[in-house]
Amino acid sequence: MSGQRGDTREKIRAVALELFAEQGYEKTSLREIAERLGVTKAALYYHFKSKEDIVASLYHDVQLEVEKIIAWGDAQPRTMETRRELIRRYYAAMTRDQGSALIRFMQDNHTAVQEVKAADQVRERFLRLAQLVTDPEAELADQLRARIAFFALNASAFALRDLDITDEQRHEAALAVALDLVSGSRADVDLAPG
């Protein structure tokens, strides 16, 4: 029976995210989510008490995945290959259903993200991941480059949405850029104006 409850929760989250994308988080009501699902508001309320609860459950699932990645990274030697593997693992987590849905929600609902309490915990985990891929002895620009690698993975849905490409093409491009950013120094690049 718990599997059926989980399926119902997944359907609710999928429909809610669909509505949030169509009309925005603020303009979507629990009643509209229930109507789209073909259930009563009371039935919806059994699973989630508010829109924030729906989004918080998504954050929670992604947070569990990220915590596993952090635990793995903490147990590894601080090498370039470890940093690259952290990027690959994060990429895998964020391109699965919950991760991908969370990124889309965050990009489309900036104001709502600020109000969701669970977002603070995600930000903390993100900073911990950033520390794991950053060589503390590296130049500041290289430390920033390594941290921006995560943004490349997260921002690709927004940055490339005007292109006629598949999700797979977008994900592959984002991973290539992220791995490049985390992989090394660009100290030899002349930044002085021509």
Instruction: Indicate if 8 and 56 belong to the same structural domain.
Output: no
Instruction: Indicate if 58 and 79 belong to the same structural domain.
Output: yes
Q: Based on the structure, what is the number of domains in the chain?
A: 2
Neighbours of 4 (CB within 10 A): 8
Q: Tell me how far apart the alpha carbons of residues 9 and 191 are, in angstroms, rounded to a whole number.
A: 51
**Which residues contact residue 173 at a Cβ distance below 8 angstroms, ignoring those fewer than 6 apart?**
156, 160, 165
Instruction: Indicate if 45 and 55 belong to the same structural domain.
Output: no
Which CATH number is 40's domain given?
A: 1.10.10.60
Neighbours of 129 (CB within 10 A): 21
Q: Are 158 and 107 in contact (CB under 8 A)?
A: yes
Instruction: Indicate if 168 and 133 belong to the same structural domain.
Output: yes
**Whether pLDDT at 119 is above 50:** yes
Which CATH number is 102's domain given?
A: 1.10.357
Q: How confident is the model at residue 3 (pLDDT cuts 50, 70, 90)?
A: low
* Cα end-to-end span (Å), the chain: 67
Q: Are 178 and 152 in contact (CB under 8 A)?
A: yes
Residue 5 lies in a domain: yes
| Segments forming the whole domain that contains residue 24 | 1-49
Instruction: Indicate if 122 and 169 belong to the same structural domain.
Output: yes
Instruction: Indicate if 94 and 70 belong to the same structural domain.
Output: yes
Instruction: Indicate if 42 and 71 belong to the same structural domain.
Output: no
Q: Are 30 and 47 in contact (CB under 8 A)?
A: no
Instruction: Indicate if 70 and 98 belong to the same structural domain.
Output: yes
| pLDDT tens track for 126-176 | 889 889 998 888 889 988 988 889 888 878 877 887 889 888 898 899 899
What type of residue is 36?
R
Residue 97 lies in a domain: yes
Residue 190 lies in a domain: no
- The pTM assigned to this predicted structure is 0.76
Q: Look up tokens 């929600």; give the residue.
A: 105
Looking at residue 33, its pLDDT comes to 95
Tally the residues of the chain: 194
Instruction: Indicate if 18 and 90 belong to the same structural domain.
Output: no
Instruction: Indicate if 27 and 90 belong to the same structural domain.
Output: no
Residue 192 lies in a domain: no
| pLDDT tens track for 156-169 | 877 887 889 888 89
